[in-house]
Structure 1
Amino acid sequence: MTTVVFSYVLYLLLSVLLTAWVGRMLTRHGRVYLAEVFRGDERLAAALNQLLVIGFYLVNLGFIALWLHIDQRVVDVRGVFETLSLKLGIVLLVIGALHMVNLWIFARIRHNALLRTQLTGSPRQTG
């Protein structure tokens, strides 16, 4: 197996495993967070949690596939590690950035729901 093929295999293996691990954590802990954001509507929280996790997997696996190509020549073990660190680092930064954007959005939703509760005395808007 050439060093380039070895780099591809390691990159795919590690990035898919990291994506699966993060996805499991998001599913488990996101359920609790979304249940708080959408107080009183557990079905909505559970459904949205699943949709977000599916989107997470699609975006990340798509990015991993697009980022697979290696431009530089990998000729030794040092090149394998340098290529993997660059590629995995960027994948992790993208996953982290998407996660922070999601958290910010749901924090705003929760904040608005709390304001609505304070103003109307009801956690859900009727109408």
Structure 2
Amino acid sequence: MNYFIVTYAIYLLVSIALTVWVAKVLFNNGRIFLIDIFHGNTPLADSVNKLLVVGFYLINIGYISLALKYANTLVNAQMVIEVLSYKLGTIIIVLGAMHFLNLVVFFKLRNRAQLSKPVN
């Protein structure tokens, strides 16, 4: 059995699935912030939201690809699980960091928009 192929396949499937899930959560829940930031301009908010998701995918899938290689020897299932645990844990931390970075950006943009909102 080629443990490298199994490890790479599981790593890629789980990492990309997690990336897609986080991107969907950010896309769906970030929309309301962007609509508020852009003072109700829904087409602009939706467009920016899509661009943010594309950037999110590019950064995360690029990192996932760069982190794929494993240089040591995999000789048994235990090593496969340990390597997957380390690699997937790293990806989860990166996704979490990207999620919080997006939240910070949304809140900063929202606060700036609130300060510049015309008073009626």
TM-score normalised according to structure 1 size: 0.86
2: CA distance, partners of 1:71 / 1:18: 24
Find the counterpart in structure 2 of residue 28 from structure 1.
28
2: CA distance, partners of 1:110 / 1:28: 17
Offset of residue 42 of structure 1: 1.0
4+ aligned runs moved over 6 Å, structure 1: none
Find the counterpart in structure 1 of residue 111 from structure 2.
111
Find the counterpart in structure 2 of residue 46 from structure 1.
46
Find the counterpart in structure 2 of residue 121 from structure 1.
119
Question: For each residue in 1:9-66, what CA deviation from the matched residue of structure 2 results, as whole angstroms up to 9, or x when unmatched?
Answer: 1101111111111122222112122222222211111001000000111111111110
Identity %: 41
Offset of residue 103 of structure 1: 1.3
For the aligned residues, what is the CA RMSD? 1.4
Q: Which amino acid aligns with 1:121?
A: V
1: CA distance, partners of 2:36 / 2:73: 49
Q: Which amino acid aligns with 2:92?
A: L
Q: Is the 2:34–2:49 contact (alpha carbons within 8 Å) kept by the matching residues of 1?
A: yes
Q: Which amino acid aligns with 1:114?
A: Q
Q: Which has the larger radius of gyration?
A: 1
TM-score normalised according to structure 2 size: 0.91
Count of aligned positions: 120
Find the counterpart in structure 2 of residue 87 from structure 1.
87
Find the counterpart in structure 1 of residue 100 from structure 2.
100
Runs of at least 5 residues in structure 2 that lack an aligned partner in the other structure: none
Q: Secondary structure at the match of 2:27?
A: helix
Q: Is the 1:60–1:95 contact (alpha carbons within 8 Å) kept by the matching residues of 2?
A: yes
